[in-house]
Amino acid sequence: MNKQIQLKDLGNKDYKASWEYQEELFKGIVDLKIQNRKDETSLPTPNYFLFVEHPHVYTLGKSGDLSNLLLSEKQLEAKGATFYKINRGGDITYHGPGQIVGYPILDLENFFTDIHKYLRLLEEAIILTLAEYGLACGRSDGETGVWLGVGTPFARKICAMGVRASRWVTMHGFALNVNADLGYFDNIIPCGIRGKAVTSLNVELGVKKVDEQEVKAKILNHFASLFEAELLISELF
């Protein structure tokens, strides 16, 4: 089992281009698994972890409801935002500047074959990261992602999650609000959940800006520990 994960920070990158890149890496792993089975070989399958920041974009998961987008095409254009219907689970969400997006593209057969455990560990990596900033975050029953104030009238989501998995290979991932413009969430019913607020790390800490590179380093530290993985800075991209 290959527990090495190739890490790449794509910087600020268009959503569609990033999605196509994810698909390319995802397909490479799946194709190798099929080839291994066909040839009765055991060539190691690679794992990847992409960080990216997207320009303003709304994405709708395959089980999502388009009515949760509260903007017309013209209004989207006026806000400098784009919209995509995509092949992950979940409903509608927003990505944009000031948000850390992570896409682990893993062959779970290198780790464990349990998609629910995978989601819980992704959440745990974010929960442990935010605990380092003094925030007590947790899960909300029946809702993915990471929340503050669960069980109170002030419940608010700080990190959205949505993944796709096929042949135990994952793609898509999480979006953590760090210095995000929360006004963009007013144009959707986030994750299709009415009456729930969203928040950002800088808002919760009462500061203008949080160091995003520091947050990424903390996420990676917890991710590597939880998945018992070795992270490599990749030169292969």
Render pLDDT for 19-34 as a digit per residue (tens, 0 to 9): 999 999 999 999 999 9
Question: Quick one: average pLDDT of 227-236?
Answer: 83
* Count of C-beta atoms within a 10 Å radius of residue 28: 15
Residue 193 has pLDDT above 70, yes or no: no
Record the pTM: 0.93
Residue 195 has pLDDT above 70, yes or no: no
Q: Return the structure tokens found at 123.
A: 């959440």
Residue 181 has pLDDT above 50, yes or no: yes
Catalytic residue from among 81, 191, 220, 229:
191
Q: Return the structure tokens found at 169.
A: 């290979």
Q: Tens digit of pLDDT for each residue in 24-74?
A: 999 999 999 999 999 999 999 999 999 999 999 998 888 788 888 888 888
Task: Give the residue extent of every domain in the chain.
Answer: 4-233
On whether the CB atoms of residues 188 and 93 are closer than 8 A, the answer is yes
Architecture of domain 4-233: 2-Layer Sandwich (3.30)
pLDDT number for residue 67: 86
What is the percent of the chain where pLDDT is above 70? Answer: 95
| 137 noted as active-site residue | no
